[in-house]
Structure 1
Amino acid sequence: MTCASGPATFRLLDAHVGWDQREVHNLVGFDDPAGVRLAHPGSAPEGPTRRALLPWFPDRRLTPGEGHCDWYLLTPDRPRLLRRDACSEGWTPVWPPGCEPEPPRAPVSVAARGNRLAVVETDRVRVWRHQGRHLAGVIPVDRPVWAAPAAGDEILVAREPDTDLRRYSTAGEFLGLLRTGAPGRIVGLRTGPGRTIWLLTDDGVRLRIHRGGRKRPFRTVTAAELAATLPPSTLVSATEEGFCLREPGPDTTVTRCFDWRGEPREAPSPPTDEYVTSGSCLTTLIDSGVSRCRWHRVRVDADLPTGTAVTVSIVVSEDGRYEDTDWQTAVPGAADFLVDQPPGRFLRLRLRLTGDGGATPVVRRIRLDLPRSTSADLLPAAFREDPAADDFTERFLSLFDASLGELDRVIERCPALLDPAGVPDRVLPWLAGLLGLSFEAGWDARTRRALLAAAPELYRRRGTPWALREAVRIVFGATPVIDELAADRRWALIRRTAEGTGTGTSTGTDGPGLGGVRLFGRSASRFRLDGSALGAGPLRAFGDPDTDPLTAHAHRFRVLLPAGSADEKALRRLVGRQAPAHTAGSVRTGGAGFVVGSRSTVGVDTSFVPLPPPVLGGEHPPRLNRDAVLRPGPRGARHGVIVGAVSGIGVHTQVW
């Protein structure tokens, strides 16, 4: 669609290419695919900010308690421990007057988990139970900084200057050393579900989050992984003046602020020093490979929040030498502009980012188009005789060439919109609408992508057991059993019997079927001519009784899944959408066990669990010989299997 006369090339400047690291000032993200951005002030200019991680790694003087709104606070001037629960708005001492234990000796930090509370002092860690009512143990440690109660009645202690963790029992017994291998120093420590341990370290360049455990190595994780695994606390800010908690109120959330003595204070103004206000970087000499090249266009791919700007300056030269007055500076915020420079082989670009301190622009990529190629090259030579008119014509037609180029890229990327593995999560419902699929609200992005990828084959084989089985497997992660009842036409069939062979042995044969045994009287069934007494057989106006064994279960099926593998209501909705219209499907998931003698399916209803003790009487009394097994007498059982004793299946067991 483009009207350009010939193919154009380009150079890309992204987070990895083109920048002179010696000319970088207050910018970070050159090794981050997300893009280049302004740095954070302080000793950790890269990575997440300390303020953003406060809900998961609070200030060392604060720790959340057992409840959602419970907190503990170490006061600095008069060493004591305060507590605030969900039923009060102020802070009260953990120990009432007259019941205080020995006050903390230069307290360092506090941590809590469940009913255990650990107070870190200069040379020891004291562990309390039941919200400080019982002293469980004293752990002598040299220069402790952080402590965290862990699962299994353990206490993890971090001390300066290393990042290794020491394991102690609550009573103070040393259990071993846990090496983390994390660089820098620990500025946050907590434990999570599944015996996981989370560290926050500062190496002077950035804050890093590490996850590991006793039997798993520590690795660096992102803030998103932290937020997806651990719920945040209600702490929203912490400064030298105090801290603020956002808690649920009668109608909406309420932010309450306190100083470090636990006294209420006014909410501070929002911080504006999260980022530095300006930063710049310079590229190396970018070689076009063409002598006296006419550079064409500069395009910037960036996000510009309110209060931020990106300014681009370029200079072109033939031999790499230039003056300060040779720079061409684009209008601040311009993301697409033409190069207005003399022809030259080399180009150098300066990037400047500015902000208000509360937000930062993010530059993902800069594209340099070369050489100049516009639709003006297709015009007759008469339109290009005058140099001034020629320059204006090129710049004027470049506006339309840019629009046509955008349309070309949209058309080129159209097939990518139909790839379920490459589109963003928000596009998946739209893509499903094109295929006639509907998603449940609880399905995650992985399940939706798998369904979209399998949709062509599912549609081709729709109505077959394979398609229904595959759809259930994708959504619920378990392969079901499809039980087609039409294949099980055992109508009026009794159990297998053993017949003698005359040689002292017996073989199992099918018992009598239709015509061999009568399970009900003639008068109790439907009316049959010459077979039912008039007035004794009920008249029914449908079907032929001889075809009942073939039609009773026709077009019926069951979907069987083990217990706990799927939500039965969601499974029933999925089966209703995937089953053919002329069929009737039912859903059954396994229970807590099975009863011998009742209909059950192996893998669905089977679960070897102990029977509850029989209790005669009550609302639902058990029926002897059917619902309960009486316990043996003092001499033990004479027959059968005793739980815990040695027994062999087929030797001591008989199933009837």
Structure 2
Amino acid sequence: MTCASQPPTFRLLDARTGWEQYTGADGPGTENVVGFDDETGIRLAHQGSAPQGPARGELLPWFPDRRLTPGCRPCAWYLLAPGPPRLLRRDVCAGDWPPLWPADCAPDPLREPVSVAARGHRVAVVESDRVLVWRREGAQLAGVIRAERPRWAALGPGDEVLVACAGSTVLRRFGSAGRPRGVLRTGVPGEIVGLRTGPGRTIWLLTDDGARLRIHQGGPGRPFRTASPAELAAALPPSTLLSADENGFCLREDGPDSTVTACFTWQGRARDAVPPATVAYAPTGSYLTGLIDSGLSRCRWHRVRVDADIPPGTAVAVAIVVSEDGRYEDSDWQTAAHGSTDFLVDQPPGRFLRLRLRLSGDGGTTPVVRRVRLDFPRTTSADLLPPAFRQDPAADDFTERFLSLFDASLAELDRMIERYPALLDPAGVPDRVLPWLAGLLGLSFEAGWDADTRRALLAAAPALYRRRGTPWALREAVRIVFGVAPVIDELAADRRWARIGESAGGAGPGLGAVRLSGRSTSRFRIGGSALGAAPLRAFGDPDADPLTAHAHRFRVLLPAGSADEDALRRLVERQAPAHTVGSVRTGGAGFVVGSRSAVGVDTAFVPLPPPVLGGERPLRLNRDGVLRPGPQGARHGVSVGVASAVGVHTELS
């Protein structure tokens, strides 16, 4: 019920406000309908021991059987077979399941394997008392993790391994080499029967409390909460696993002309294809409310609206009855027309109303009722007409029902106008509305940008427009899209024309490679340049060269591998001022500080060693040999941050 200070004008039936289920002495009024505490709505129950669902077959594409896990490449799978060789791999969309390791280089045989997991090029096998982790798809054993009764493992980002043990909902965190990294207390009920990791260090759990399966979402620093299958499907792409039973499993694979179904036994041998098992729902179900009290004597109930998804092959039948004292006959029920989910109440005035829903399906799908709204008392635009139009009761009833059609349309328009400001909120609109909202602001999106990037750009659009054309705006746009702050090098600030700098030894002012006077080396000048020593240019003023050579030029620098260079170039072209020329540059495949090397720990930037002629290993003079210092003094090493930027324009090779 609404919590406004005015008299109530409607009642809601949903998961948040309650469904007002009937609990009379003659038994419950609900049969084969579940989901009263689920915000997605009520639906037909599953057949079997877990009527609440979801069924295990629905979740196989995201939580496969413990003996199966998808690999890093399309159609790649790992299979724990019952006998040696224990671990098999299917690497292409055709052929058999060969052993992961050839017979001549196989490691020690696995003992009592429980489950298998994979992510990228790492593979983990859970045994009864340990977890084995390999890199390079089984070519290198990374570490052995000791644990008490491990059952499930998941490989996360940053070389992390999550382990779930039997009888516990605590996740233990390790590195691939086996070093502990702490524990993560999930606090979820039941037993963990599935473990997955997703983007943003998100962890997905599948638990079984003996009555139903539940999906939970959480992560480090975030509490775990119950999630729906729709949220799981939106966050993680499904695998090609179609079905699994005690006889084997089936995969969906791309054939030469179409998609085919390939089925195998648990030993990896092919078997005849079998149709995937469909989720079985109860064919019919009913829901009956208690007496819903309007609080108004002789209340004229106005309208019933049912918010529902009704797939083909399913139906929802709605019926109501109104009474003043709660008593009624079976013939008093008003049943809505077939397929109608919005209708007017055609009942005598009464304080109480009871609603009945009957759901039906074909066994493979179910209707879902999210919400029911009951409007009262009856208020239409007929109240604004002169009394002369309402003297005849029959004509008055027709007029009210007729004008209610227009009132409903106008109410929908009013709600759209009220909600219009919410459509301008990037954080609240659906993903499909983001391109439309960007069109209003004059933004254009790349096809590869995800929804979070698009929302961040829309939220930052006012600040970007106010400071467009400045280095800050360009730097902020690149940071939002690619997740890394660039270095913007304005070439006009790096002019070396007629400039006195410090000498190499830091002893004071000294002349560098730029001439302060003398023959010109930038272009040919009669009487001032030697023939063949300066280029011929037939435009511009030679005296203005120091000011115009790099004017309105800038360069955007990013570390190697941080962004697609073509996408970065398109973004810079859209954000750069019209009178400027920008270029982009990403680091090469050289030295990257922080990935595999640590400056000052195991890496030194030093000059070349002095040459030693003769001896057991005489030095061969070439470009790496130095007999004596040159005219500019001894050669110095690289100073990170002073004259070089590691990963941007410096490459050590």
- Normalising to structure 1: TM-score of the pair? 0.73
- Is 1:347 matched with 2:346? no
Which of 298, 304, 308 is the equivalent residue of 1:298?
304
CA contact (8 A) 2:80 2:116 kept: no
The Cα shift of 1:403 comes to 2.1
- Once residues 84 and 217 of structure 2 are traced to their aligned partners in structure 1, the CA distance between those partners, rounded to angstroms, is 33
- Is 1:202 matched with 2:199? no
Cα 1:326–1:426, aligned 2, differ >3 Å: closer, same or farther?
same
The Cα shift of 1:256 comes to 1.9
1:546 match: secondary structure: helix
- Is 1:366 matched with 2:364? no
Counterpart of 2:648 in structure 1 is none
Cα 1:478–1:486, aligned 2, differ >3 Å: closer, same or farther?
same
Q: Report matched runs for 1:230-241 at 5 Å.
A: 232-240=238-246
Counterpart of 1:600 in structure 2 is none
- Is 1:10 matched with 2:17? no
Counterpart of 1:650 in structure 2 is none
Q: Report matched runs for 1:325-340 at 5 Å.
A: 325-340=331-346
What amino acid sits opposite 1:219 in the alignment?
A: F
The Cα shift of 1:426 comes to 0.6
Counterpart of 1:543 in structure 2 is 540
CA contact (8 A) 1:8 1:369 kept: no
Cα 1:177–1:303, aligned 2, differ >3 Å: closer, same or farther?
closer
What amino acid sits opposite 2:580 in the alignment?
A: T
CA contact (8 A) 2:154 2:195 kept: no
Counterpart of 1:283 in structure 2 is 289
Deviation string 1:404-429 (CA, Å, 9 cap, x unpaired) is 22222223333332222222111111
- Once residues 328 and 625 of structure 1 are traced to their aligned partners in structure 2, the CA distance between those partners, rounded to angstroms, is 102
Counterpart of 1:411 in structure 2 is 417
Q: Which shows bigger deviation, 249-258 or 546-555? A: 249-258
CA contact (8 A) 2:131 2:147 kept: no
What amino acid sits opposite 1:14 in the alignment?
A: D
Counterpart of 1:582 in structure 2 is 579
Q: Report matched runs for 1:460-479 at 5 Å.
A: 460-479=466-485
CA contact (8 A) 2:519 2:529 kept: no
The Cα shift of 1:154 comes to 8.9
- Once residues 261 and 639 of structure 1 are traced to their aligned partners in structure 2, the CA distance between those partners, rounded to angstroms, is 65
Deviation string 1:77-102 (CA, Å, 9 cap, x unpaired) is x99969574576557899999xxxx9
- Once residues 579 and 115 of structure 1 are traced to their aligned partners in structure 2, the CA distance between those partners, rounded to angstroms, is 46
- Once residues 398 and 582 of structure 1 are traced to their aligned partners in structure 2, the CA distance between those partners, rounded to angstroms, is 61
Deviation string 1:579-636 (CA, Å, 9 cap, x unpaired) is 11111122234456799xxxxxxxxxx98865799999xxxx855569x9xxxxxxxx
What amino acid sits opposite 2:312 in the alignment?
A: T
The Cα shift of 1:203 comes to 0.8
Counterpart of 1:396 in structure 2 is 402
Counterpart of 1:633 in structure 2 is none
- Once residues 202 and 394 of structure 1 are traced to their aligned partners in structure 2, the CA distance between those partners, rounded to angstroms, is 53
Q: Could you say which structure has the larger radius of gyration?
A: 1
1:51 match: secondary structure: helix
Cα 1:553–1:94, aligned 2, differ >3 Å: closer, same or farther?
closer
Cα 1:117–1:282, aligned 2, differ >3 Å: closer, same or farther?
same
- Is 1:483 matched with 2:482? no
Q: Which shows bigger deviation, 607-616 or 307-316? A: 607-616
The Cα shift of 1:340 comes to 0.6
Which of 438, 441, 454 is the equivalent residue of 2:444?
438
- Once residues 96 and 527 of structure 1 are traced to their aligned partners in structure 2, the CA distance between those partners, rounded to angstroms, is 75
- Once residues 622 and 522 of structure 1 are traced to their aligned partners in structure 2, the CA distance between those partners, rounded to angstroms, is 32
Deviation string 1:249-268 (CA, Å, 9 cap, x unpaired) is 23333202346676655444
CA contact (8 A) 1:190 1:199 kept: yes
Deviation string 1:542-588 (CA, Å, 9 cap, x unpaired) is 22222222222222223334444433322221111111111112223
1:333 match: secondary structure: coil
1:204 match: secondary structure: coil
- Is 1:55 matched with 2:61? yes
- Is 1:450 matched with 2:456? yes
What amino acid sits opposite 1:11 in the alignment?
A: R
Q: Which shows bigger deviation, 336-345 or 29-38? A: 29-38
What amino acid sits opposite 2:583 in the alignment?
A: S
- Once residues 401 and 342 of structure 2 are traced to their aligned partners in structure 1, the CA distance between those partners, rounded to angstroms, is 13
Counterpart of 1:517 in structure 2 is 516
Counterpart of 1:315 in structure 2 is 321
- Once residues 222 and 417 of structure 2 are traced to their aligned partners in structure 1, the CA distance between those partners, rounded to angstroms, is 47
Counterpart of 1:72 in structure 2 is 79
- Once residues 469 and 306 of structure 1 are traced to their aligned partners in structure 2, the CA distance between those partners, rounded to angstroms, is 51
Cα 1:446–1:290, aligned 2, differ >3 Å: closer, same or farther?
same
What amino acid sits opposite 1:575 in the alignment?
A: V
CA contact (8 A) 1:497 1:508 kept: yes
Counterpart of 2:650 in structure 1 is none
CA contact (8 A) 1:272 1:356 kept: no
CA contact (8 A) 1:38 1:360 kept: yes
- Once residues 31 and 368 of structure 1 are traced to their aligned partners in structure 2, the CA distance between those partners, rounded to angstroms, is 20
Counterpart of 1:647 in structure 2 is none
Q: Which shows bigger deviation, 365-374 or 314-323? A: 314-323
- Once residues 488 and 72 of structure 2 are traced to their aligned partners in structure 1, the CA distance between those partners, rounded to angstroms, is 47
The Cα shift of 1:218 comes to 8.2
- Once residues 365 and 81 of structure 2 are traced to their aligned partners in structure 1, the CA distance between those partners, rounded to angstroms, is 33
What amino acid sits opposite 2:47 in the alignment?
A: P
1:334 match: secondary structure: coil
- Once residues 138 and 427 of structure 2 are traced to their aligned partners in structure 1, the CA distance between those partners, rounded to angstroms, is 53
Identity, in percent, stands at 65
Q: Report matched runs for 1:113-152 at 5 Å.
A: 146=151, 148=153
Structural RMSD (CA): 5.4
CA contact (8 A) 1:557 1:585 kept: yes
What amino acid sits opposite 1:567 in the alignment?
A: D
Gaps of 5+ in 1: 1-5, 500-505, 596-605, 629-637, 644-656
- Once residues 34 and 186 of structure 2 are traced to their aligned partners in structure 1, the CA distance between those partners, rounded to angstroms, is 27
The Cα shift of 1:445 comes to 1.2
CA contact (8 A) 1:118 1:149 kept: no
2:404 match: secondary structure: helix
The Cα shift of 1:296 comes to 0.8
- Is 1:184 matched with 2:190? yes
The Cα shift of 1:537 comes to 7.9
Cα 1:510–1:281, aligned 2, differ >3 Å: closer, same or farther?
farther
What amino acid sits opposite 1:247 in the alignment?
A: E
CA contact (8 A) 1:208 1:220 kept: no
Counterpart of 1:424 in structure 2 is 430
1:307 match: secondary structure: coil
- Once residues 143 and 525 of structure 2 are traced to their aligned partners in structure 1, the CA distance between those partners, rounded to angstroms, is 85
The Cα shift of 1:334 comes to 0.9
Which of 213, 217, 224 is the equivalent residue of 1:219?
224
